[in-house]
Amino acid sequence: MEHVVELKDVTKTFTGFSVNNINLKVKQGYVTGFIGANGAGKSTTIKMMMNLLRPDSGEVKLFGLDYKTHEKKIKEQIGFVYDGNVFYEGMNLKDIKRIVGPAYKHWDDATFNQYIEKFQLPLNKPIKSFSKGMQMKASLALALSHDAKLIIMDEPTAGLDPIFRRELLDLLQELMLDGSRTIFFSTHITTDLDRIADYIAFIQDGKLVFNQSIHEVADNYAIVKGGNELLDRDTEKAFVHIHRSTIGFKALTSNIQEVKQMFGEEVVIEKASLEDIMYYMKGSGSVV
Ligand SMILES: Nc1ncnc2c1ncn2[C@@H]1O[C@H](COP(=O)(O)OP(=O)(O)OP(=O)(O)O)[C@@H](O)[C@H]1O
């Protein structure tokens, strides 16, 4: 199976917002980073992948299976981490393990204990006394202890200090080594993605802008700088968005080849970071 997650024409509408006609395939054996501004629809999309939210229309398949007929089989293979209170607040990790463990065929107490030790989490203290970072670590320990084939995480590095964030990225890389796992996670920290992501899925205003390998993103997108005299109604079409100033323009292109053909040596072409892409895309639609 090439894709462990497949969303086909998925739409979910809330008052004033909708995730619109999303077609997204997550490739097996790779790390996909899911990016987008606040309120772009990342959590909504992830909730639909987890069957915590039903789409109004479209199809959601995990491991080629449908939640309607194979919910248990699908959930068995997913480790889910998110920045919300997953647990009954009064419970401690020992109690939670007792409840969560038996729900999974491949639950491994030894692995769980190893993570608890590694993350330095107390087993007997109520979860409500945990800091945000500790709660995230607890959620991770639970997600990683049943040999999940797919790890889905909604902003797993939110609330983590920079040292643990780096350790977490190392840990995720280690988990990928055997080649059978897939990781899909949303984040606002785009530099984390430079470290570990193979694919980037970018959502904006409820629409998927792209899902490309990190190399494709680097090959397609660039920041272009040049003099304002180069811009006219035709040449502007080479750009996603243009910022003009009195000394010249800076613009994002999604077609470096076209820009090279059009302007040759007259412009400077620089690598676009994921942040650049998100920033310029936010202003797209109107060329200013
Ligand atoms: N249950 C709901 N009822 C109504 N509106 C909702 C509901 N859930 C989400 N929304 C709205 O959908 C939009 C997208 O929210 P979502 O949480 O998916 O964004 P996000 O990309 O995860 O944002 P962030 O990066 O801030 O976490 C927001 O405008 C939010 O208010």
ipTM for this prediction = 0.97
Model confidence band, residue 87 (pLDDT cutoffs 50, 70, 90):
low
Percentage of the chain beyond pLDDT 90 is 75
Phi, psi of 22 (to 5 degrees): -80, 130
pLDDT in tens, 137-170: 888 899 999 999 999 999 988 878 899 888 889 9
d(CA 15, CA 18): 8
| Atom 28 of ligand 1, residue of closest alpha carbon | 39
Domains and CATH numbers, the chain: 3-214 (3.40.50.300), 221-282 (3.30.70)
Please give the pLDDT value at position 84: 65
Its pTM stands at 0.91
Beta strands of the chain (E only): which ranges?
A: 3-14, 17-27, 31-35, 57-62, 65-66, 78-82, 150-154, 182-186, 199-204, 207-213, 222-226, 241-245, 248-253, 268-271
Taking only the tens place, the pLDDT of each residue in 249-266 is: 999 999 999 999 999 999
Whether 21 and 173 have beta carbons less than 8 Å apart is answered as: no
Ligand 1 proximal residues by C-beta, below 6 Å = 14, 17, 36, 38-44
Query: Whose Cα sits closest to atom 4 in ligand 1?
Result: 14
Tokens 């330095």 locate to 120
Nearest atom in ligand 1 to 45's CA: 18
Atom of ligand 1 nearest to the CA of 44: 18
CA 190 from chain centre, in angstroms, equals 10
What's the gap in Å between 41 CA and the centre of ligand 1?
6
Distance 206 CA to ligand 1 centre (A): 10
Pocket test for ligand 1, best of 12, 20, 43, 282 (most atoms within 8 A of CB): 43
